[in-house]
Amino acid sequence: MVTPIKSVEIYDTTLRDGAQREGISFSVADKIQIVKLLDEMGIDCIEGGWPGSNPKDMEFFSRIQEIPLQQIKIAAFGSTRRPHSDVSSDDNVRALLEARTPVVTVVGKSWDFHVSHALGTTMEENLAMIGDTVFYLKKKGRRVIFDAEHFFDGYRSNPRYTLDTIRVAAENGADTVVLCDTNGGTMPLDVQKIIQEVKKELDIPLGIHAHNDSGMGIANSIIALQSGAVHVQGTINGYGERCGNADLCVIIPNIHFKLNFQKLKPWQLKKLTKMSKIVAELANMIPQDNQPYVGRNAFTHKGGIHVDAVTKHTQTYEHANPEEVGNRRRVLVSELAGKSNILFKARENKIELLKNNLPEAREVLNNLKKMEHEGYQFEGADGSFELLIWKTLNTYKPLFKLEGIRIIVDKQRQGEELYVEATIKVRVGNRIVHTAAEGNGPVNAMDNALRKALEEFYPEIKKMKLIDYKVRVMDGKDGTAARVRVLITSQNEKKKWGTVGVSENIIEASWIALVDSIEYGLLCDRSSSVEEVRKALQELAWQEERIEAK
């Protein structure tokens, strides 16, 4: 039975379970920053780590005491006492108390197979370990959450014993019992059935902790809440061991939009996309473009029919409003584009390409499809796309002209570093500038030389920097003679933009993308519409006249 959501506690375990993903290692400063972010978001509880397991976690628990927090509660995570030991002298339990957190989360075995094969003790001793640990920590004034590890696997194997494990936790004072799908292999309808059966046996707040090994982490979390669970655990971006944990960046908006429970305030929900990206940055992980709600592609439209419909009404191809989660709608331009894509992109970038100006829109579309046939891709190159529109509307003229370029790559002997130098000659107005620069590679040397040549005329170039450079081989069967596509991402103090170049020669492809990047950055520094582009070009032309006069 699906029940309306009346209450839900959001519990984040990014700093512990999420950090178990390969490649992630949060520093103490990273952990503190993430706590502050989630506190602002309105998350209820965050698991700081396993005290006693490593010095970094102990330092975190010490330093977090000094950080003023608005709402979020810090939880320390650990296991039950060891078999046949006194709980008051157990090192793990003592470390939980020394962490000085208001919440402690205790994990215990609920699958008889694990008790005998992993823990190596009797079923009776395992129950005693759970009861003793929960009772002792409650006596010390902590809120205790009991994580029933492998609960769903255990329930399918031996439901009576598995229920006994969570019953003994509840009887000894556990505030919340969390049912864990630790292996991540349970299906949603099984989660629903089991939770409903558990609720008949125990009158205690239930939670869900789902892993994603069968791709059901989010679905299992949502159906658990619909089945009566009031506590949900997960990680930001779904980080975690193996295939990861349930993704809170999807669960949170699903609670809001699909379960109609406004857990977070609207201004907090708008922080979701930014928070997802900051955590990815701290984790040194590439953001997932196809991630629901917060991914770059979550509200991106490419097909012409889709774009035409979205411009009429966004609900035609969107299930939620991107702005409500801090994301934005994007329209791509490609060989699949129609005039609607072109018009949308023009409006998005404040270019006056009106719908009744169809000949120009059609010309842009034809040029676009011709260039994509040659290997260009404008999906990540908005700068090159805007320049294409400006050129079509005759509102553009080159800001400089290449007269010649020579790149020297020298390596004297094995083991020595390459020496790379670019010599460049460019014309700005009637002035010829001839200069050279070194770099750690041919593209870097070329970039340095071009900037050096242009800085006198366009000082804004000093504020522009290249932040990403990608090369894609178009057809691998041609080997080293294959056509390549170069995508460059640049930014200044105001914005970030992408440009593209295509050629059989990687240097030429890089040059095309680099020139587009610099010209677009210079024009955008002075303009945001066609009329402003015209004014910017007039200003640049006036600059050139002064240069020529000199």
Q: Can you give the pLDDT at residue 383?
A: 80
What is the DSSP track for 426-478?
A: EEETTEEEEEEEEESSHHHHHHHHHHHHHTTT-GGGGG-EEEEEEEEES-GGG
Q: Can you give the pLDDT at residue 359?
A: 67
Tokens 């005693």 correspond to 128
Given a cut of 90, whether residue 177 has pLDDT beyond it is yes
The crossing angle, in degrees rounded to 10, of helices 506-524 and 382-392 is 70
List CB contacts of 158: < 8 A, sequence separation 6 or more: 111, 112
pTM of the model: 0.68
Q: Look at 142 and 281; give whichever has higher pLDDT.
A: 142
Q: Measured between alpha carbons, how far is 385 from 500 in angstroms, rounded to an integer?
A: 9
pLDDT tens track for 407-422: 998 877 777 778 889 9
- Give the number of other Cβ atoms within 10 Å of residue 124's Cβ: 10
List CB contacts of 54: < 8 A, sequence separation 6 or more: none
Cβ(15)–Cβ(48) below 8 Å: yes
Q: Measured between alpha carbons, how far is 9 from 302 in angstroms, rounded to an integer?
A: 38
Cβ(43)–Cβ(8) below 8 Å: no
What is the DSSP pairing of strand 176-181 with strand 143-149? parallel
Q: In what order do the strands lie in the sheet with 401-410?
A: 401-410, 419-428, 431-439
Range ranked top by mean pLDDT from 151-155, 455-459, 545-549: 151-155
Q: Can you give the pLDDT at residue 399?
A: 81
Query: DSSP code of 17?
Result: T
Going along the chain from its start, the domains and CATH numbers come out as 9-283 (3.20.20.70), 300-366 (no CATH), 374-398+464-550 (3.30.160.340), 400-457 (3.30.160.740)
State mean pLDDT over 51-66: 90
Tell me the chain's radius of gyration from C-alpha atoms.
Answer: 30
State mean pLDDT over 207-211: 98
Cβ(88)–Cβ(62) below 8 Å: no
Given a cut of 80, whether residue 26 has pLDDT beyond it is yes
pLDDT tens track for 425-480: 988 888 899 999 998 888 889 999 999 998 888 888 888 888 888 887 876 566 66
Query: DSSP code of 242?
Result: T
Query: DSSP code of 80?
Result: P
Q: Measured between alpha carbons, how far is 239 from 280 in angstroms, rounded to an integer?
A: 9
Look up residue 413 and give its amino acid.
Answer: R
Q: Measured between alpha carbons, how far is 23 from 446 in angstroms, rounded to an integer?
A: 34
List CB contacts of 516: < 8 A, sequence separation 6 or more: 381, 383, 384, 387, 488, 499, 500, 501
Coil, helix or strand for 70? coil
Range ranked top by mean pLDDT from 115-129, 207-221, 483-497: 207-221
pLDDT tens track for 293-306: 999 888 877 766 66
Q: Measured between alpha carbons, how far is 513 from 384 in angstroms, rounded to an integer?
A: 8
